Amino acid sequence: MAAKGKRGGQIIILVALILIFAVGAVYLWLQMQQQQSAQPLPTAEPAKQMIQIVITTQFIARGEEITEAKVMMIDYPAESYVEGTFIRDIQSVIGSRARYDLQPSVPLTRAVLIEPAGGSVASFDVPKDFVAMPIPATRLTSVDNSLAPGDHVMVIGCMLLVDIDTQFQSKLPNEVGVVERPGAAGGEQAGPERASAGIIPAPDGATEGRAVQDPTLNLPLYIVPSESQRPRLVCQTVIQDAVVLRTGQESQPQVQPTPIPQEQQQQQQTQPAPVQGGSEPFPITLVVSPQDAVALNYMLLSKVTLNLALRNPTDTKPIVTDAVTQQYLMDQKNIPLPAKLPYAIEPRVDELKMPELGPTPIPVQ
């Protein structure tokens, strides 16, 4: 009986402990609920105000026209926007041109655009205090068509000079006229008399000469030139450093080739194709000073031959050259004057001409 009473007491104590823990848990849970209900609910942050700006959607090259496919509108925080910086109207940029190369996702501003009625794109490549001036060129005078925008070139000018009469401003020698004295027109017994002297052209276009004393005959002789005056050639650097703005070759009209029969095409395929663009002139636009532009304009109107020599872009120091004449060439290059020998080469050669090469033979397969 005593053992049963002891076991019953233990059960009662265990149940009591369980009830105590259960009551404590319920009490703690109620306290936590009261604290949560007492804390205020967090307030939602107000949404940021957004505006829309125009950005690029793809690469736009300098001078390229902007179309709807190349731009779009995106949201931009209004608090970070400064009035007048980014463009907010997409229609206002359609038809404009890019002043610089534009990468994708670049916000557009008025500073990077050229209005549809604005100036040319090339004008922005001309530095301040300089101008752009075109000159005619060929493959030979443009470094074998190897020039590209940004190249530095030296301009060489060559001209032919002749002696002229300072009063007449005409090329020497002068033509000689015959002076008729006053009197009978056809002699003393013919026709009415002339009241004044007259000058008529000399027969066969006689030209002014000079009198010399012949040493053998000891007599004066009057000699006249056997040909017209030979002009004298002089070449000199007229512009030391100019920058190529554009070559102009891309603007040349493309000539459609004439249809060739199939037989001729087969024959031409066996021969080397001729090099095109050897003598066809095309413009090359140079960036020069305003004074050099005036000088170039004068030389073009005076038919001065211009040639371009390519320079290293890192070498921009002035180049001082001497004008080249026949005398300079003979003296500086140590070219002797040929002696008058009692013999000569046969056949006679009056014109220098390189031998012409025939077509390249085709090796037998």
Clarify whether residues 91 and 136 are in a common domain. no
Do 299 and 155 belong together in one domain?
yes
Q: Is residue 184 part of a domain?
A: no
* Structure tokens belonging to residue 175: 């033509």
Nearest to 244 by CA among 99, 317, 137, 120: 137
Domain limit, last residue, from 73, 92, 121: 121
Same domain, 236 and 312: yes
Whether residue 244 is found in the same domain as residue 328: yes
Residue 247: CB atoms within 10 Å: 20
pLDDT at 100 over 50: yes
Same domain, 146 and 85: no
List of long-range contacts for 192-196, beta carbons under 8 Å, 24+ apart: none
pLDDT at 128: 86
- The answer as to whether 77 is a domain residue is yes
Give pLDDT, residue 165. Answer: 94
Q: What is the mean pLDDT of residues 170-192?
A: 72
What pLDDT is recorded for position 179? Answer: 76
| Interatomic CA distance for residues 332 and 29, integer angstroms | 113
Whether residues 111 and 137 fall in one domain: no
Number of domains in the chain: 2
Peptide linkage before 173 cis (omega within 30 of 0): yes
Residue 54 sits in the same domain as residue 156: no
In a domain, 326, yes or no: yes
148 in any annotated domain = yes
My answer on whether 242 and 316 are in the same domain is yes
Do 244 and 101 lie in one domain? The reply is: no
Q: Within 13 A of 211's CA, how many CA atoms are on the CB side?
A: 3
> Mean pLDDT over residues 80-94, rounded?
87
Q: Do the Cβ atoms of 70 and 124 come closer than 8 Å? A: no
| 142 domain-assigned | yes
Q: Among 121, 148, 178, give the residue marking a domain's end.
A: 121
- DSSP one-letter string for 66-134: P-GGGEEEEEEEGGG--TTSS---GGGTTT-EESS-B-TTPBP-GGGEE-TTS--SGGGGSPTT-EEEE
Percent of all residues in the chain with a pLDDT value above 70, rounded to a whole number: 79
pLDDT grade, residue 267 (50/70/90)? Answer: low
Residue 273 binned pLDDT confidence (cut-offs 50, 70, 90): very low
Q: What are phi and psi of 211, to 5 degrees?
A: -95, 135
Please check whether residue 79 lies inside any domain of the structure. yes
Question: Which residue range is the domain that position 242 belongs to?
Answer: 131-161+231-250+279-332
User: How many alpha carbons lie under 13 Å from residue 220 in its C-beta half-sphere?
Assistant: 4
Which of 64-73, 152-161, 281-290 has the least mean pLDDT? Answer: 64-73
- Do 78 and 153 belong to one domain? no
Domain identity same for 55 and 157: no
- Tell whether 155 and 237 lie within a shared domain: yes
In a domain, 38, yes or no: no
**Average pLDDT, integer, range 128-151:** 92
> Could you tell me the CATH number of the domain that includes residue 66?
3.90.1210.10
Is position 106 within any domain?
yes
